[in-house]
Structure 1
Amino acid sequence: MNGNGESNRDAVRRSYDTVAGEYAARLHDELAGKPLDRALLTALLEQTETGTAIADLGCGPGHVAAWLAERGARTVGVDLSPEMVATGRARYPAVEFREGDLLALPAEDGAFGAALALYTIIHIAPGDLGRVFTEVRRVLRPGGLFLVSFHTGDEVRHLDTWWGHEVDVDFHFLDPTRIAGLLEEAGFTVEMRLERAPYPHEAETRRGYLLGRRT
């Protein structure tokens, strides 16, 4: 674990701690305006082995995990930010929350039937993405699905302020072909790949989605 990577994760942790309350208040119902995301989550849920848990990696305050829980899933939210985890626990008692790092997930081998990481890997140093996907594979059961989404492109956007709060966080835009290759190298078969334009209420970036199955 290099110093730069550790420093980057500390900055991400502090930044999301800072905006946790406002993030939850602003985005708690964001799925209501994202029909494609709801469809993909429903497909993930329908293909997850009955009785197994779904991990929401980089869950933030847990609204996506809660949406799945409302539809019968057993969900575990994992986030780097202690304040996000605390906010989620207060808002969504039906979801189990764990504080944790995607490079060392707080779960045993094969603990989950499926996993998702929605706009989570955009905060990972590009050189660490392969290790993250290998770790996700570790905690999935054989045949488990992994849904990942991100902003597409090749730029890095940095925020010093977010909703009026001082932060220090980078957003890495990613190439879907590269991400698909890294998933395959980590032991996933990529079953679905798509991109969409932003909805009117979203930031003006193209969104990429990949669905991989653990081999």
Structure 2
Amino acid sequence: MRHEDQPTPAAALFDALGPAYEKAFAHAPAHLSALEWLIERLPLAARTLDVGSGTGRPTAAALIAAGHSVLGVDVSPVMVELAARQVPEAEFRCGDIRELPIEADAFDGVCVFFSLLQMTRAEQSALTLRLARALRPGGHLVLATVPADVEDVEVLFMGRPVRATSLAEEDVVGMVEAAGLTVLSRHSTAFTPDHPGAGPEPHLFLYCRRDETGR
């Protein structure tokens, strides 16, 4: 058990990366396309949840610009401080989404962009189920991850060693469907972050809906 005042590995990583993470990833075309897809389907003045909200850009900033409210949750205090400064119209909370109470049927849209990779597979499945239940019937969720059949392996991310866990593409789809969501479409791409020494990364984006009669 870690001490309460000891940061999680994810918090320590993103505290250290800070604005460099935004520079590396914020302009990824597939990420921006997923945001556009979600925004097109949100009702007026929608309530949205951004899981792993980072610096607030591009996700929270785009949602606010489209006239929606945003609750961003991130485990990194540095990221939350940056986000609150850059997107002051949104609400940001510093905390572990695995431990944060999430009200059922509370959100019209949920974003989960690359925020599962430092969780165990059981935690990823449990959180996906909670996020699906947090959607109102008819609400939409966009999820992005690095599809790979790996569990607690060390990888180098932006020059730093990270323990990562993920699932192969079909297993990610299965996890989302088991949570009660319909995968309307998926998009696979390769993206090279704007960071020294970075190479292309496989990215998977799922475009999902909680159906009206889904539960």
Could you state the TM-score of these two structures normalised by the residue count of structure 1?
0.82
Which residue of structure 2 lines up, in the alignment, with residue 67 of structure 1? 62
Aligned to 1:14: 12
Q: Give a deviation string over 1:32-74, Cα, whole Å, max 9, x none.
A: xx33332221111111122221211111111021122123222
SS of structure 2 residue aligned to 1:197: strand
1:178 aligns with 2:178: no
The correspondence for 1:92, drawn from 83, 87, 90, is 87
Return the alpha-carbon distance in structure 1 between the equivalents of residues 161 and 31 of structure 2: 28
Classify the secondary structure of the residue corresponding to 1:124. coil
Structure 2 residue 143 is matched with structure 1 residue 145: no
Paired-residue identity, %: 28
The alignment partner of 2:138 has SS state of strand
Tell me which residue corresponds to 1:36: 30
For the 8 Å contact 1:115–1:140, the answer to whether it is kept is yes
Structure 1, gaps ≥5 residues long: none
SS state at 1:122 partner: coil
Structure 2, gaps ≥5 residues long: none
Q: Which runs of structure 2 are paired with 1:92-111 in the superposition (5 Å)? A: 92-111=87-106
Q: Deviations over 1:114-167 (max 9, x none)?
A: 1011111112212211101111123211121111111122243434x855xxx6
Q: Is the 8 A contact 1:12 1:168 kept in 2?
A: no
Instruction: Tell me which amino acid in the other structure corresponds to 2:173.
Output: A
Q: Give the whole-Å Cα distance in 2 for the aligned partners of 1:158 and 1:36.
A: 23
What's the RMSD between the two structures over aligned residues? 2.6
Change (3 A) 1:82 1:204: same
Q: Aligned to 2:189, which of 183, 196, 200?
A: 196
Partner of 1:123: 118
Correspondence 1:209 to 2:205: yes
What is the aligned residue count?
202
**Deviation >6 Å, runs of 4+:** none
Are residues 95 and 35 of structure 1, via their aligned partners in 2, closer, same or farther at CA, if it must alter by over 3 Å?
same
Looking at secondary structure, tell me which structure has more helix per residue: 1
